[in-house]
Amino acid sequence: MTQDQDGVVLYWRPMCTYCMKLRLRLLFTGLRFVKVNIWRDPGAAAFVRSVAGGNETVPTVTVAGRAMVNPSKRELFEAVRAHAPRSLPRGR
């Protein structure tokens, strides 16, 4: 499992429309994040279950180690500004 205690990690799985929507919304923002496919990483899947009430609810995002289950782009950027500002693109 990928852990980034200072940055942003996006846990996702293929064919998840919510994951695709969030990834598209982030595409041109310049936000620096790591993507982890929970179907390829059993440890990541276990982590997601641990923060999502036993479910593999994705997208789940960690911002400086703080988990957010299915956040909106706005919620994600608020958390990044507060806890991981180095992940923001320059000038934002």
Instruction: Give me the half-sphere count of Cα atoms (radius 13 Å) on the Cβ side of residue 16.
Output: 18
Distance of CA 71 to the CA centre of its chain: 8
Residue 3 pLDDT > 80, yes or no? Answer: no
pLDDT tier, 6 (very low <50, low <70, confident <90, very high otherwise)? confident
- Interval 51-85: pLDDT, tens: 999 999 999 999 999 999 999 999 999 999 999 99
**Phi, psi of 25, rounded to the nearest 5 degrees:** -65, -30
Domain of 46, CATH number, reads: 3.40.30.10
Look up the domain containing 25 and give its range. 8-84
Whole-prediction pTM value? Answer: 0.91
Residue 65 identity: G
Domain count, the chain: 1
* pLDDT reading at 92 higher than 90: no
Q: Is 22 inside a domain boundary? A: yes
Cβ–Cβ under 8 Å, residues 39 and 13? yes
- d(C-alpha 26, C-alpha 43), whole Å: 25
